[in-house]
């Protein structure tokens, strides 16, 4: 569900340590000495540091077996310095600014910094440890300062502005023109037009924020990893076998005897769905929703206030009414109001449905002869019972038809049918962990046009959720193929057992692979326009539309086969599974919107330092008559989307926005009567999957669909309005 989208290549490359080393030196002697020392150390570092050497590996993939933590800081030092030199050379060029000597030169600058950053930040998410966390704490603010120094480089901006202001007089291709426009906009949004003290303060804010984002996510991780719930023999007896086995695996991972539930969503959520022990459910539920808000050193309340205040200050400096106005200004939605309108349109029908779901659950509690109120920790448990009763879907039976390996095959099969690409596993390519698998992507001419890494299992040191990121973006200038990675957090099965996943897990797999294909199929002229470097409220569209193929009988009958017998999923089970698709959508939509509304409200608030985080959450939720049993999907103090970075800050609504696009978009295939309709697939490839940010998002969508998106299909898909005919 959650994607970690790295900055586009140029944005990562836009990085420059703010210090001027020569000016810092007190005397010429000091300067000479320090320069000499620096040269010596740099030379030594370059000679032995694999991060700075050419990667003589298949497709230039990262040589993980040679990379050690100790290589990162010296490599970053060298790469930052060389990027700074490259940028200085562009900015101080005496020649008149041209596309080639400015924009193209910027695209090509910072190659080392980009590849080192991508390797490093993938490790911080997927294979972190104390050493990596320490480097991350040091590097995040330095990289932010480096970025800021580039966007605030007045000479550089003057060149970009000159080109931007004379676009019509220049003979540029459509993508060259687009690159100029996007770069100009990125610079102005990053404060390039600021002057004097404002510039300095702006850079300071960027750097402080970067440090706070790291702190926020490390606090969440610390709280999440500190908690486990040990299960007794008696507790285990009531749980399905797959949960018992996962609990044994989780305990073994942590060198604990017996069985534990952890706060990874893949562990705690199934437990909440299946444990009849109401007290344990409450304990797990409270721990899960309290991450970051406990009375300990990991409390994120103050981190949130500081982040919000700095974001507001930054937005005001740029002339925006609020951070929300600033953020939505650069998206497909355009304004906070447009995003809020969409959420409101869906909220009331969703809430209505959630109330009906609550009534069903209350009836079951009464039927069990119990007289307690319906609480948050009851919802998932009874819902899975209602679900089991109404659709007769036993999660462990369903899971026996969803083998992870088969679902991986299915995601590749859909790509082949839609886009004509094939995937071959490679076992000769270095990975950062033995669980990671690598495939090459071949086009119709059997050329390798991409590398794909799949890192599917949860483990300590890996953050929660699922995401796509990249080790290298498609590069239309030098012909580099993209290197893309998907991360999920499925429970690793015990040795010798197959990995079985839930239907939801399989959807997540398809979702992330949709992002993956957006990177892999990219075919743009410039890395800054490649793949997922699109508007944030458009970026989920390729991922979410891809989920629809998993739901098609044509795919499930073929790939959802029993792990022991190989029998395809029985027709009646498939029918019930599909019918269950709209089930509990009231809850799912309400918990999502709760997070969306709170995210938006925070960033419209005028005085964030005064906020009492928990009271503010409650106030926002109550203002729309929220159901008390449905909290935010991600409560503020562990709302990584919003506070661990800026990807989804004031932008959590994007998932819903993309939901409108994906349901409306998939209708194109339904209308054609063929889920692989070649014409629709070609349009989807041309305007979306291969197009990156080569045109504005709305134009891309209209290019694919022939018209602007409509909300009808989403309301129908979620069962909030009657389907026609
Ligand atoms: Zn996503």
CA 547 to ligand 1 center in whole angstroms: 11
Distance from the CA of 345 to the center of ligand 1, in angstroms?
Answer: 22
362 in active site: no
Q: Alpha helices of 299-394 — where are they, by DSSP H?
A: 301-317, 323-329, 336-367, 376-391
The pLDDT of residue 22: 28
Reference 52, options 76, 88, 87; nearest CA is: 76
Which domains, and CATH codes, for the chain? 9-151+153-189 (1.10.1370.40), 227-289 (no CATH), 301-399+584-652 (1.10.1370.10)
Ligand 1 centroid, distance to 468 Cα (angstroms): 8
**pLDDT per residue over 249-262, tens digit each?**
999 999 999 999 99
User: What's the token pair of residue 176?
Assistant: 């060259």
CA of 467 to the centre of ligand 1 (A): 7
Report how far residue 703's alpha carbon sits from residue 139's, in angstroms, rounded to the nearest whole number.
41
> Could you list which residues have their CB under 5 Å from ion ligand 1?
3, 540, 543
- pLDDT surpassing 90 at residue 395: no
* Cβ atoms 590, 627 nearer than 8 A: yes
Ligand 1 midpoint to CA 126 (Å): 17
Percent of the chain with pLDDT over 70: 93
Strand 483-490 relative to strand 467-472, pairing: antiparallel
Q: How confident is the model at residue 721 (pLDDT cuts 50, 70, 90)?
A: confident
In 3D space, the residue among 463, 459, 485 whose CA is nearest the CA of residue 472 turns out to be 485
Q: What is the pLDDT of residues 415-442, one digit of tens each?
A: 999 999 999 999 999 999 999 999 999 9
Identify whether the C-beta of residue 648 lies closer than 8 Å to the C-beta of residue 654.
Answer: yes
pLDDT of the residue at 519: 98
DSSP codes of every residue in 648-708: TTT-TTHHHHHHHHHHHHHHHHHHHT-TT-HHHHHHHIIIIITTTTSS-HHHHHHHHHSS-
pLDDT digit string, tens, across residues 263-286: 998 899 999 999 999 999 999 999
What is the CA(568)–ligand 1 centre distance, in A? 29
Q: What is the pLDDT of residue 682?
A: 98
- Would you place residue 18 in the very low, low, confident or very high pLDDT band (cuts 50, 70, 90)? very low
Sheet holding 483-490, edge to edge: 422-426, 437-442, 448-457, 483-490, 467-472
Quick one: pLDDT at residue 717? 87
Q: Which of 86, 357, 395, 512 is catalytic?
A: 512
How many A from CA of 646 to the centre of ligand 1?
15
pLDDT at 389: 78
- SS3 letters across 427-458: CCCCCCCCCCEEEEEECCCCCEEEEEEEEEEC
| pTM listed for this prediction | 0.79
């Amino acid at each position: 569900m959650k994607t970690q989208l790295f900055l586009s290549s140029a944005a990562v490359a836009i990085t420059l340590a703010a210090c001027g080393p020569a000016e810092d030196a007190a005397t010429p002697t000091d300067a000479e000495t320090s320069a000499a020392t620096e040269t010596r150390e740099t030379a030594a570092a370059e000679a032995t540091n694999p991060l700075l050497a050419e990667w003589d590996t298949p497709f230039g993939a990262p040589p993980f077996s040679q990379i050690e933590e100790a290589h990162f800081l010296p490599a970053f030092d060298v790469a930052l310095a060389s990027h700074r030199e490259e940028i200085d050379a562009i900015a101080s060029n005496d020649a008149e600014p041209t596309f080639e000597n400015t924009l193209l030169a910027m695209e090509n600058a910072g190659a080392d910094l980009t590849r080192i950053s991508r390797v490093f930040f993938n490790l911080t998410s997927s294979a972190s440890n104390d050493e990596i966390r320490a480097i991350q704490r040091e590097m995040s603010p330095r990289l932010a300062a480096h970025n800021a120094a580039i966007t605030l480089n007045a000479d550089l901006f003057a060149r970009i502005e000159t080109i931007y202001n004379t676009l019509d007089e220049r003979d540029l291709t459509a993508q060259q023109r687009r690159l100029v426009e996007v770069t100009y906009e990125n610079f102005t949004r990053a404060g390039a037009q600021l002057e004097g003290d404002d510039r300095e303060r702006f850079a300071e804010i960027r750097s402080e924020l970067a440090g706070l984002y790291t702190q926020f996510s490390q606090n969440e991780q610390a709280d999440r990893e500190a908690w486990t719930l040990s299960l007794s023999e008696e507790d285990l007896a009531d749980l399905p076998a797959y949960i018992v086995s996962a609990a044994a695996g989780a305990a073994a991972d942590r060198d604990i005897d017996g069985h534990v539930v952890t706060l990874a969503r893949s562990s705690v959520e199934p437990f909440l769905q299946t444990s009849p022990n109401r007290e344990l459910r409450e304990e797990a539920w409270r721990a899960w929703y309290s991450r970051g808000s406990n009375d300990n050193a990991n409390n994120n309340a103050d981190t949130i206030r500081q982040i919000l205040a700095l974001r507001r200050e930054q937005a005001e400096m740029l002339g925006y009414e609020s951070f929300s106005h600033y953020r939505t200004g650069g998206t497909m939605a355009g304004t906070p109001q447009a995003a809020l309108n969409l959420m409101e349109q869906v909220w009331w029908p969703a809430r209505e449905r959630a109330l009906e779901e609550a009534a069903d659950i209350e009836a079951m509690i009464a039927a069990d002869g119990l007289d307690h109120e319906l609480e948050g920790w009851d919802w998932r448990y009874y819902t899975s019972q209602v679900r089991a009763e109404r659709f007769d879907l036993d999660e462990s039976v369903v899971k026996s038809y969803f083998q992870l390996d088969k679902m991986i095959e299915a995601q590749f099969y859909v790509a082949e049918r839609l886009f004509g690409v094939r995937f071959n596993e490679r076992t000769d390519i270095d990975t950062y962990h033995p669980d990671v698998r690598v495939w090459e992507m071949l086009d119709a001419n059997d050329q390798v046009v991409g590398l794909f890494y799949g890192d599917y299992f949860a483990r300590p040191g890996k953050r929660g959720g699922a995401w796509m990121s990249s080790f290298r973006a498609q590069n239309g200038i030098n012909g580099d193929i993209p290197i893309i990675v998907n991360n999920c957090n499925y429970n690793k099965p015990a040795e010798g057992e197959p990995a079985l996943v839930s239907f939801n897990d399989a959807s997540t797999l398809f979702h992330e692979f949709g992002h993956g294909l957006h990177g892999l199929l990219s075919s743009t002229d410039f890395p800054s326009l490649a793949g997922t470097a699109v508007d944030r409220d458009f970026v989920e569209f390729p991922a979410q539309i891809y989920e629809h193929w998993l739901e098609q009988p044509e795919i499930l009958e073929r790939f959802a086969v029993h792990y022991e017998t190989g029998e395809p999923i029985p027709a009646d089970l498939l029918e019930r599974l599909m019918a269950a698709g709209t089930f509990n959508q009231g809850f799912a939509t309400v918990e999502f919107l709760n997070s969306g509304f709170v995210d938006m409200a925070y960033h419209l608030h005028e005085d964030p330092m005064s906020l009492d985080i928990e009271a503010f959450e409650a106030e926002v939720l109550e203002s729309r008559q929220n159901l008390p049993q449905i909290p935010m999907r991600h409560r503020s103090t562990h709302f990584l989307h919003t506070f661990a970075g800026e990807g989804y800050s004031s932008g959590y609504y994007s998932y819903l926005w993309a939901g409108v696009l994906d349901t409306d978009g998939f209708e194109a295939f339904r209308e054609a009567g063929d889920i692989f309709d070649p014409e629709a697939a070609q349009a989807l490839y041309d305007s979306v999957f291969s197009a990156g940010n080569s045109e504005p998002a709305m134009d891309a969508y209209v290019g694919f669909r022939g018209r602007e998106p409509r909300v009808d299909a989403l309301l129908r898909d979620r069962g909030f309005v009657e389907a026609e005919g």
